[in-house]
Copies of this chain bind each other. A is one copy, B any other.
């Protein structure tokens, strides 16, 4: 399918699958595969009041740094996205907004569901594939 024949329906569905794969990589601790879903110069602002990570290497470093807290605390984390809007822009970028929750489960425990966030992404298509050029995450408990 060429871009010229890509309908909104195709795009919305492609974004859903793209996010599912991206998050399976993140939650599966496949950090390189996760950062490969960002553009080379991608920007990831995942924690408020911190300078955004820029570029795949820095995004990978930020994820590894964040995950250090779990070294002696084995958890399974699952990111859930919902209420997704997809808005193609005239410049060829695609803006999305979606809600996010993180579901954290410890061995034998019940899931803890926090924080609640809203994310604003800019996606682009490169060599036929969607990539995240920037992600800004706002935390509900900090508003």
Separation in Å of the A116 CB from the closest CB of chain B?
A: 4
Number of interface residues of A (CB under 8 A): 47
A82 closest partner in B (C-beta): B80
For the complex with contacts A12-B13, A109-B141, A110-B141, 9 further pairs of A-B residues with Cβ separation under 8 Å are A1-B7, A19-B83, A23-B83, A24-B83, A80-B83, A80-B99, A101-B103, A108-B141, A110-B112
Please name 22 pairs of A and B residues whose Cβ atoms are closer than 8 Å in the assembled complex, sorted by A: A8-B17, A9-B14, A17-B85, A20-B85, A76-B116, A76-B140, A76-B141, A78-B118, A78-B140, A80-B99, A103-B140, A107-B141, A107-B142, A108-B141, A108-B142, A110-B112, A110-B141, A111-B113, A111-B114, A111-B115, A111-B140, A111-B141
